Amino acid sequence: MNREYWKKNLEQASQVLDNFIKNDVSMAGCIQFSSILVEAYRAQKNVFICGNGGSHCDSMHFAEELTGRYRKNRRPLGALALGDASHTTCVSNDYGFEFIFSRQLEALARPGDVCIGLSTSGNSQNVIKAIEYAKTNGITSVGLLGKNGGKLKELVDTAIIVPAETSDRIQEIHIKIIHIVIESVERVLFPENYA
Domains of the chain, earliest start first: 3-189 (3.40.50.10490)
What's the pLDDT score for residue 154?
98
Per-residue confidence band for 133, with pLDDT thresholds at 50, 70 and 90: very high
Q: What is residue 90's predicted lDDT score, i.e. its pLDDT? A: 97
Share of the chain above pLDDT 90, in %: 99
How far apart are the C-alpha atoms of 153 and 172, rounded to whole Å?
Answer: 19
Position 168 scores a pLDDT of 97
Closest CA to 172 of 60, 7, 17: 17
> What pLDDT, on the 0 to 100 scale, is given for residue 167?
97
Mean pLDDT on 52-74: 97
- 56: closest CA among 109, 108, 130, 113? 130
Mean pLDDT of 121-147: 98
**Mean pLDDT for the chain overall:** 97
pLDDT of residue 173: 98
pTM as predicted: 0.96
Over range 55-59, report the average pLDDT: 98
pLDDT at 1 over 90: no
Q: What is the pLDDT confidence band of residue 155, given thresholds at 50, 70 and 90?
A: very high
Q: What are the tens digits of pLDDT across the range 21-45?
A: 999 999 999 999 999 999 999 999 9
Cβ(144)–Cβ(173) below 8 Å: no
What confidence category does residue 18 fall into, taking pLDDT thresholds of 50, 70 and 90? Answer: very high
Provide CB contacts within 8 A for 114, sequence distance 6+.
36, 37, 40, 45, 46, 47, 48, 139, 140, 141, 142
Give the CA angle between residues 79, 82, 84 to the nearest 5°.
115
pLDDT, tens only, 82-132: 999 999 999 999 999 999 999 999 999 999 999 999 999 999 999 999 999
